[in-house]
C-alpha cells in the first residue's frame, strides 16, 4: 500500500503519517517546506491521498489524484476511520487539548495499557514525538471489567487530540470523550457561540449509552449542552485540585480531566498521580528553550486571550524579576473579532513586544486586513495600561529585530515568553534542545 500526504509537515499530519508507516504502509508526502505541491508528486501506484485542512480544492496534487481516480480524504476523515477501529479516547475543547491528551497518554503508558497516540504537539516523555505506536495492552495493573478488556484487547487504545475547527471532530467516534471548555474561537469558520454549541451537541451525540463523557463542570457553556447526552456523564473540576505538580499549577483542569479518565479505566491512583507529578510539559506549552543574559526564555503556543492569561499567570508566579512577552498575533480575523479580549490579556506582563500579525494562508480577508494590525493592538493596550496607571512598557517591532533587542535588554532573573501559534518559534533565533 502507498499513501500520499499533502501537507505532511503539519503536526497532526506528520503523526498520522508515522502511524501508517508503523503499519508497514509506504508513505510519501509534500509540503510548502518540502519543495511545494506539484502534480508530478502523484503517481499511479498511490492507493490513497490524505490532505490537511490547509489544502485548497484547486491544489495541483488533489486535481491530479482525481484525474487518476485515486481516493482523496481529509486528515480528519482518515483519523476518523481509526477511531471506529480502536477504543478511542478523544480530548476536545478550545484550550488544553494537547496537554490533556499527552497526560492521558502518559498515564496509560505507565499503567501498561500501551496506547497509540496521535496529538498536535511533541511529548517530551515520548522522545519529543507527536506519535506513539502502541500495541497489545497489559492489564495486570488495572482492574477493568471483562467487557472493556475484550474491547481494548481487540484493537488497542487510541488517544487523540480532537480539533473543533471546521467541525473536524464530527468525523470521530470516541468511547471516552473529554470536554475541557467551550467559548468563542475559530470565528473565521463558526458564525457565533450558538453555532459552536450546536456543533458540539452533534459531536456529543456520537456517544452511545455505554460510552463516557468527561466534562469540566466549571464551564457553564459545557454544563448547558451536556444535558442532552445519552451516555454516562462524569464531571471534573480543577478548582480545588491539589498541587501534585506545583510547576504547572495552572493546569489543574488538565490534570483533573486526566485523572477522571484514569479512574474510568481503573488505573491505580498512585500510577496516575506519579505520572502527573513527573510531567515535564509538552512542546511549545510553557516550554523552556534557553537562557539569555541569565533570563529564562520560554516558548508557548498561546494565541487566544484565555490561553494568554493562563500562561502569563503561570509565568508571573515563578519569575524573580520582569516578565517579558513577545507576542505574534495569529490570523487577522481572530485578532479583529477578539480585539477587546486581547487588549485585556497582557496585564501581567511587565514588558510586551508585539510583532506583525501572522497571516494564515487561505483563511484571511483583505477587508479585515485593512481594519486591524499589531500597531493598533499595541496602542490600545498602552492606553489601557495608562488608564490603570500601570508602569509597564510596550514595543512594536519587526520580528527580525527581536533577537538582538532581547540580548540587549534582558537581565538576570527576567523571564521571557515567545508566544503565538505562527512561526515565531522559527523566526526568532533561539536555541533548541539537542534531542529535537
pLDDT, one tens digit per residue, over 397-426 is 999 999 999 999 999 999 999 999 999 988
The label of the residue with cell 517546506 reads 33
> 435, 127 in Cβ contact below 8 A?
yes
What single string gives the DSSP state of each residue in 378-419? HHHHHHHHHHTT---EEEE--GGGHHHHHHHH--TT-EEEEE
Identical fold between 86-277 and 287-427: no
C-alpha cell, 166: 471546521
pLDDT over 80 at 173, yes or no = yes
- How many Å apart are CA 421 and CA 419, to the nearest integer? 7
Mean pLDDT across the stretch 196-217? Answer: 96
| pLDDT value of residue 124 | 87
| pLDDT value of residue 433 | 42
Domain ranges across the chain: 2-75, 86-277, 287-427
Residue (of 120, 129, 202, 125) closest to 161 by Cα position: 120
| Residue 240: band (very low, low, confident or very high) from pLDDT cuts 50, 70, 90 | confident
201 compared with 428, residue with greater pLDDT: 201
| Residue 430: band (very low, low, confident or very high) from pLDDT cuts 50, 70, 90 | low
CATH 3.40.50.300 fits 86-277, yes or no: no
Topology annotation, domain 2-75: Rossmann fold (3.40.50)
pTM of the entire predicted model:
0.90
Mean pLDDT across the stretch 350-372? Answer: 90
Topology annotation, domain 287-427: 3.90.190
Phi, psi of 90, rounded to the nearest 5 degrees = -115, 140
Give CA separation, 120 vs 16, 31, 258, 261, in Å. Answer: 10, 17, 17, 19
Amino acid at each position: 500500500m502507498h499513501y500520499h500526504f499533502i501537507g505532511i509537515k503539519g503536526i497532526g499530519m506528520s503523526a498520522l503519517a508515522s502511524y501508517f508507516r508503523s503499519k508497514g504502509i509506504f508513505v510519501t508526502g509534500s509540503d510548502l517546506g518540502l519543495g511545494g505541491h506539484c502534480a508530478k508528486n502523484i503517481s499511479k501506484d498511490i492507493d490513497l491521498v490524505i490532505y490537511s485542512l490547509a489544502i485548497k480544492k484547486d491544489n495541483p496534487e488533489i486535481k491530479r489524484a482525481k484525474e487518476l481516480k485515486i481516493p482523496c480524504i481529509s486528515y480528519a476523515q482518515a483519523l476518523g476511520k481509526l477511531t471506529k477501529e480502536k477504543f478511542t479516547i478523544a480530548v476536545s475543547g478550545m484550550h488544553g487539548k494537547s496537554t490533556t491528551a499527552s497526560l492521558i497518554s502518559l498515564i496509560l503508558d505507565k499503567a501498561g495499557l500501551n496506547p497509540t497516540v496521535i496529538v498536535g504537539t511533541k511529548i517530551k516523555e515520548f522522545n519529543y514525538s507527536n506519535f506513539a505506536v502502541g500495541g497489545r495492552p497489559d492489564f495486570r495493573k488495572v482492574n477493568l471489567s471483562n467487557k472493556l478488556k475484550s474491547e481494548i484487547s481487540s484493537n488497542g487504545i487510541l488517544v487523540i487530540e480532537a480539533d473543533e475547527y471546521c467541525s473536524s471532530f464530527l468525523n470521530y467516534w470516541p468511547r471516552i470523550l473529554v470536554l475541557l471548555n467551550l467559548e468563542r474561537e475559530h470565528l473565521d469558520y463558526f458564525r457565533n457561540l450558538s453555532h459552536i454549541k450546536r456543533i458540539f451537541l452533534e459531536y456529543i451525540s456520537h456517544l452511545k449509552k455505554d460510552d463516557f463523557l468527561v466534562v469540566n463542570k466549571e464551564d457553564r457553556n459545557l454544563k448547558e449542552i451536556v444535558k442532552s447526552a445519552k451516555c454516562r456523564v462524569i464531571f471534573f473540576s480543577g478548582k480545588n485540585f491539589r498541587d501534585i505538580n506545583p510547576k504547572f499549577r495552572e493546569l489543574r483542569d488538565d490534570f483533573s480531566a486526566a485523572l477522571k479518565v484514569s479512574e474510568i479505566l481503573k488505573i491505580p491512583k498512585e500510577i496516575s498521580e506519579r505520572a502527573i507529578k513527573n510531567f515535564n510539559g509538552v512542546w511549545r506549552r510553557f516550554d523552556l528553550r534557553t537562557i539569555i543574559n541569565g533570563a529564562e526564555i520560554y516558548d508557548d503556543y498561546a494565541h487566544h486571550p484565555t490561553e494568554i492569561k493562563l500562561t502569563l499567570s503561570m509565568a508571573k508566579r515563578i519569575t524573580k524579576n520582569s516578565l517579558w512577552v513577545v507576542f505574534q498575533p495569529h490570523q487577522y480575523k481572530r485578532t479583529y473579532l477578539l480585539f477587546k479580549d486581547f487588549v485585556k490579556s497582557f496585564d501581567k506582563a511587565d514588558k510586551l513586544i508585539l510583532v506583525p500579525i501572522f497571516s494564515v494562508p487561505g483563511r484571511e480577508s483583505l477587508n479585515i486586513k485593512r481594519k486591524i494590525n499589531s500597531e493598533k493592538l499595541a496602542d490600545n493596550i498602552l492606553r489601557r495600561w495608562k488608564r490603570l496607571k500601570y508602569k509597564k512598557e510596550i514595543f512594536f517591532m519587526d520580528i527580525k529585530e527581536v533577537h538582538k533587542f532581547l540580548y540587549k535588554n534582558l537581565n538576570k532573573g527576567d523571564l521571557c515568553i515567545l508566544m503565538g501559534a505562527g512561526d515565531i518559534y522559527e523566526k526568532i533565533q533561539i536555541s533548541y534542545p539537542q534531542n529535537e
